[in-house]
């Protein structure tokens, strides 16, 4: 189909997403292609992809290409909106606060930010003014226009107007590379693009969130800048949903709930390590007993390995070179030649498990061997990255390593997937995304080995009917990995369990078994975790459940509360009966009104209040009140205990009733 108005110009073939091929004059723009298809498409168009590269609608296309018109529903559109919001933010700031220098302003996961150099700090009132001006700039509907500048002239220009940070950025761009500037009305900025056609296309679904400090280029030796964060979405509805999620996240913050429920605390003297209180440790133990029972059922052998190792082990495994900056190292001694000998705290359990496998001669009949450990690990996380119990330096992994033959990989992977997904279902997570992280740039092992490992995981996922997304460059240095991303109650995602297929570590650490042919062979090593780290998973669960755990996991499953002091003795008797049945129970006989007790124990997220007074003592009954409910259920003591005992059963047949609190 020919749509070119000037057939004397060179013609190019444009292939559309539906496979339809249209002919246009060279130099046609994305907007012109959209207009030739339909007026409605041209009106909705935001950008275009040319052979997969995102471009402005106004950019000329000079060669045959595959072209797709991007509208607001396209996945990339949201990134464009957020990127443009960063430009709008910078323009608004410089209009309101002349003399402020701009630096960088990218789109990020839920919005955008821009870093500014300004002597005076921005205040919350400033953010209100800036946001108002941003809406005015959007309404002005100024077009985004692209210009190509000479590099040296661009440096000189930005220096001349006092934009020294921008000049420095341009100076770092290699000579000969194009310098592109985007204008919106009278304001302009250095940018690769692309951008929306005009400012009005951004819409008004954005909001400025906060101001934070940020060092120039992320280096603490450089000046401190002011970073303004914002969030931006396609529609006002999406913005409202996001703001509601933030509000919910604040209510569910595991640090806040951890204090209210008396689960744990953190303090500067042990930065990155958790002080577990009795109730928090009870929660931990309930989760550990559940996982241990599931592992036993699945044929795992539990082991325990040391914390401190000579550096030679980590050098042999590759961790010393590849992961050394994240390890805690201890200088043990210095020899006569001044050579230092170092020890390292283990950051992961895999080299230690290989040492157990290597003890004694192994036969193919011993495989698969599944070694599991609730292994304590330490990683030297930057202090600024620490966050409650979600990001710590000392943590415990529900780690396991499966040593098997290549032929056993499909069945072992299938068993793992079944175990993994079953655990997540038991723990209240049913929305799970699966991703396959592929070879990173810095890695151990040959490309042939990586090809085999990556294809092995692809085949395992496909064979088990699991849809997955591939993540290039995000695998471990010794092998690709399957990642499980859980979605919580308010729509956030958390990367938890992993399965890694590794041909490298058994080779590096000289692990072998005797095959049926009588020769030595290298085992395949499957690294797998279900929860990841207990600390992080518990923090995630606190926020997912907002502290309202299912009964089998709750640190305190029931509190017996008295209405009057005449029921004190009966309350103690009720608690003893419940504890004997395996329930974790406390008693509250304080001389306080029952409504006060209900509020206090509700704040502590106790799932069941067992209310007793004189009448209940006389009739040997109890009134059960559920967390968040207003109604009470009157039952005989025996019936109440039987019902709670059944409800408190952990979801592992061999585990039985939850044990009483220690």
In 413-519, where do the E strands start and end? 432-437, 469-471, 481-487, 493-502, 513-514
Q: Which pair of structure tokens corresponds to residue 305?
A: 């390995």
Closest CA to 300 of 208, 396, 375, 399: 399
CB 475 within 8 A of CB 481: yes
Question: Is residue 379 annotated as a catalytic residue, yes or no?
Answer: yes
Q: In the chain, what is the straight-line distance between the N-terminal and C-terminal CA atoms, in Å? A: 79
Query: d(Cα 350, Cα 370) in Å, to the nearest integer?
Result: 12
Please check if 496 is assigned to a binding site: no
Q: Using an 8 Å Cβ cutoff, are 314 and 306 in contact?
A: no
Euclidean distance between CA atoms 230 and 89, whole angstroms: 9
Catalytic residue (one of 397, 420, 500, 557)? 397
In angstroms, rounded to a whole number, what is the distance separating the alpha carbons of residues 269 and 21?
A: 67
Catalytic residue (choose from 56, 227, 292, 350)? 350
Of the residues 401, 435, 544, 625, only one is catalytic, namely 401
Quote the DSSP letter at residue 435. E
- Rounded to whole angstroms, the Cα distance separating 609 from 460 reads 47
Helix (H, G, I), strand (E, B) or coil at 321: helix
260 vs 253: CA distance, rounded Å: 11
Please indicate whether residue 101 is annotated as part of the active site.
no
Tokens at residue 301, please? 């052998």
* Kind of pairing between the strands at 301-302 and 275-276: unpaired
Q: Reduced to 3 states, what is the DSSP secondary structure of residue 31?
A: helix
| Residue 10 φ/ψ, nearest 5 degrees | -60, 140
Would you call 265 a catalytic residue per the annotation?
A: no
CA distance 288 to 373: 11
The residues, ordered by sequence, that sit 6+ positions from 415 with a Cβ below 8 Å of its Cβ are 298
The Cα–Cα gap between 512 and 140 comes to 70
Distance CA 282, CA 263 (A): 9
DSSP symbol at 10: P
Strand ranges in 59-143 using DSSP code E only, listed in sequence order: 60-61, 65-70, 101-102, 107-108, 111-117
Active site residue 397: yes
Q: Identify the active-site residue in 87, 195, 346, 379.
A: 379
The label of the residue with tokens 């009964």 reads 551
Q: Please, which residues bridge with residue 65 across strands?
A: 14
H/E stretch holding 305: none
Helices (H), 359-446: 409-426
Distance between CA 527 and CA 349 in Å, rounded?
A: 10
353 is in an annotated binding site: no
Task: Please indicate if the annotation marks 350 as binding a ligand.
Answer: yes
- 350 classed as catalytic: yes
Per the CB < 8 A criterion, the answer to whether 529 and 398 are in contact is: yes
**Residue whose C-alpha is closest to residue 562's, from 528, 531, 586:** 586
The two beta strands, 21-25 and 329-334, are: unpaired
From the list 84, 189, 399, 488, the catalytic residue is 399
- 3-state SS assignment for residue 226: strand
b/e 154-163 (16+ beta carbons within 10 angstroms → b)? bbebbeeeeb
User: Could you give the count of Cα atoms lying within 13 Å of 144 in the half-sphere of its Cβ?
Assistant: 33
Give CA–CA dist 480/135, Å, rounded.
46
Neighbouring residues of 159: CB distance < 8 A, sequence distance ≥ 6: 167
Annotated binding site for Zn(2+): 350, 401, 527
Q: Kindly list the catalytic residues.
A: 350, 379, 397, 399, 401, 481, 527
Annotated binding site: 350, 401, 527
């Amino acid at each position: 189909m020919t749509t070119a108005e000037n057939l004397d110009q060179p013609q190019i073939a444009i292939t559309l997403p539906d496979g339809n091929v249209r002919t246009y004059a060279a130099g046609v723009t994305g907007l012109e292609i959209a207009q030739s298809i339909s007026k409605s498409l041209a009106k909705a168009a935001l950008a275009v992809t040319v052979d997969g590269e995102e471009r402005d609608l106004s950019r000329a296309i000079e060669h045959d290409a595959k072209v797709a018109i991007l509208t607001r529903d396209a996945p990339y559109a949201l990134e464009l909106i957020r990127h443009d919001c960063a430009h709008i933010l910078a323009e608004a700031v410089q209009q309101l606060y002349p003399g402020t220098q701009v630096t960088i302003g990218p789109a990020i996961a839920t919005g955008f930010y821009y870093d500014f150099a300004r002597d005076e700090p921005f205040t919350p009132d400033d953010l209100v003014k800036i946001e108002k001006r941003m809406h005015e700039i959007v309404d002005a509907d100024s077009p985004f226009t692209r210009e190509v500048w000479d590099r040296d002239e661009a440096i000189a220009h930005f220096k001349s107007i006092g934009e020294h940070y921008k000049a420095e950025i341009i100076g770092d761009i290699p000579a000969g590379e194009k310098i592109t500037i985007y204008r919106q009305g009278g304001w302009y900025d250095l940018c690769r693009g692309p951008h929306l056609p005009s400012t009005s296309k951004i819409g008004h679904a954005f909001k400025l969130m906060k101001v934070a400090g940020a060092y120039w280029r992320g280096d603490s030796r450089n000046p401190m800048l002011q970073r303004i964060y914002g969030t931006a979405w396609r529609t006002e509805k999406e913005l409202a949903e996001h703001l509601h999620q933030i509000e919910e996240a604040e209510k569910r913050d595991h640090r806040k709930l951890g204090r209210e429920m008396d689960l744990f605390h953190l303090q500067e003297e042990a930065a990155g390590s958790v002080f577990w209180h009795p109730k928090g440790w009870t929660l931990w133990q309930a989760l550990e007993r559940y996982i241990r029972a599931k592992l036993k059922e699945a044929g795992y052998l539990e082991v325990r390995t040391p914390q401190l190792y000579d550096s030679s082990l980590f050098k042999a495994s590759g961790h010393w070179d590849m992961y050394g900056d994240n390890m805690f190292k201890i200088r043990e001694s210095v020899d006569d030649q001044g050579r230092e000998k170092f020890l390292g705290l283990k950051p992961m359990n895999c080299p230690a498990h290989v040492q157990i496998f290597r003890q004694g001669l192994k036969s193919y009949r011993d495989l698969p061997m599944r070694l599991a450990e609730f292994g304590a690990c330490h990683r030297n996380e930057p202090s600024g990255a620490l966050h409650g119990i979600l990001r710590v330096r000392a943590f415990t992994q529900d780690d396991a390593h499966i040593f098997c033959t290549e032929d056993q990989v499909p069945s072992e992977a299938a068993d793992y997937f079944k175990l993994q997904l079953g655990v997540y279902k038991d723990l209240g997570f049913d929305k799970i995304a699966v991703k396959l992280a592929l070879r990173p740039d810095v890695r151990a092992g040959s490309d042939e080995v990586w090809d085999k490992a990556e294809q092995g995981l692809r085949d395992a996922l496909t064979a088990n009917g699991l849809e997955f997304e591939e993540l290039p460059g995000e695998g471990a240095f010794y092998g690709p990995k399957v990642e499980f991303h859980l979605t919580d109650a308010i729509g956030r995602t958390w990367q938890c369990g992993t399965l890694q297929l590794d041909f490298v570590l058994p080779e590096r650490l000289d692990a072998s078994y005797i095959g049926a042919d009588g020769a030595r062979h290298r085992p395949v090593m499957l690294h797998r975790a279900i929860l990841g780290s207990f600390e992080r998973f518990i923090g995630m669960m606190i926020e997912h459940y907002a502290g309202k755990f299912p009964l089998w996991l709750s640190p305190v499953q029931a509190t017996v509360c008295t209405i009057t002091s005449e029921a004190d003795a009966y309350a103690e008797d009720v608690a003893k009966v419940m504890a004997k049945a395996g329930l974790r129970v406390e008693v509250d006989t304080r001389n306080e009104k029952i409504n006060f007790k209900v509020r206090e124990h509700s704040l502590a997220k106790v799932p069941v209040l067992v209310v007793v007074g004189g009448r209940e003592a006389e009739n040997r009954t109890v009134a059960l009140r559920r967390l968040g409910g207003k109604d009470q259920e009157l039952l005989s003591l025996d019936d109440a205990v039987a019902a709670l005992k059944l409800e408190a059963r952990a979801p592992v047949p061999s585990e039985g009733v939850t044990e009483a609190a220690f």
